[in-house]
DNA sequence: ATCTTTGTTCGTAAATTTACGAATTAAATG
DNA sequence: CATTTAATTCGTAAATTTACGAACAAAGAT
């Protein structure tokens, strides 16, 4: 995604977060986490009519984008917001929408 | 993208906007438009090192997502924010980030 | 030692996205 | 009527995304 020097670092970061949020399942997960801060993959899997492996893939994308983090708590994995990046995303979008 | 009744209409709409914003070029365009309200395809083409046809494609996606609208002003096309949907997006993201 | 539980990883297929250059359109201009 | 201008649409290729089920992993329970 080489777009020269015209596009700012902030725009790139905002686009990255937006992309991660650009799917209904991931939007749902993030909204859940922003409400209750933590959850298990199974909690989501029980609600959504998608394969577990598909959900895992979505969670991985959110993790790769830095929006969530997983903590092993066997036999489950506890997913939480990555507060630092969540706050960054919040700020970037706030600025973006209030220009 | 059939995801049952668990995912709300709002989440679907927010995901749709997020997806449209999920590319640096489109983020750049939207930020430009939110600053100056209108612009021509050529203005952007002069700045960004991408093919005109590629830019056209990105503009089409923003248009399909309802974030911008084009007005013919020959020989050019004037692109403007779609204020109504822009405001909806703003609201959805505001709610999303402030839960 | 085997079974259960909770998720991930693998393999794969279909669809979508991204990108480019060439061809096209549509009106204004010479 | 041919040219010019500004941008779109077409054709196409490569990469990424989305989705599923099967196979696997890792620790606790039986």
Tokens read off for B14: 């927010």
Does the structure show a pLDDT above 80 at A99?
A: no
Mean predicted confidence (pLDDT) in A33-54 = 93
Task: Give me the residue spans of the domains in chain A.
Answer: 9-93
The pLDDT tens digits for B13-24 are 999 999 999 999
Nucleotide with minimal C1' distance from the CA of A24 is: D18
The domain A9-93 is placed in CATH, from the list 3.40.190.10, 3.40.50.150, 1.10.10.10, 3.40.50.2300, at: 1.10.10.10
Contact yes or no for A18/B18 (Cβ under 8 A): yes
Q: Which residue of B has its CA nearest to A88?
A: B97
The Å distance, CA of A54 to C1' of C14, is: 15
Q: Inform me whether the C-beta atom of residue B27 falls under 8 Å from chain A C-beta atoms.
A: yes
Distances, alpha carbon B75 to alpha carbons A16, A68, B3, B56, B71, in Å: 35, 47, 44, 15, 11
Does the pLDDT value for residue B1 go beyond 80? no
Q: State what percent of residues in chain A have pLDDT above 90.
A: 89
Mean pLDDT for chain A? Answer: 93
Q: Is B14 exposed, middle or buried (0-12, 13-18, 19+ CB in 10 A)?
A: buried
CATH class of B9-94: mainly alpha
Mark yes or no for CB contact B25/A35 under 8 Å.
no
- Is residue A4 over pLDDT 80? no
Kindly determine whether residue B48 and residue A24, on different chains, have CB atoms separated by under 8 Å. no
């Amino acid at each position: 995604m080489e777009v020269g020097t015209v596009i700012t670092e902030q725009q790139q970061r905002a686009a990255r977060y937006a992309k991660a949020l650009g799917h209904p399942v991931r939007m749902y997960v993030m909204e859940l986490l922003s409400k209750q801060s933590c959850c298990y993959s199974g909690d989501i899997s029980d609600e959504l009519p998608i394969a577990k492996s598909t959900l895992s893939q979505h969670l991985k994308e959110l993790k790769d984008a830095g929006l969530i983090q997983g903590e092993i708590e066997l036999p489950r994995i506890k997913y939480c917001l990555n507060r630092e990046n969540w706050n960054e995303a919040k700020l970037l979008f706030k600025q973006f929408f209030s220009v």
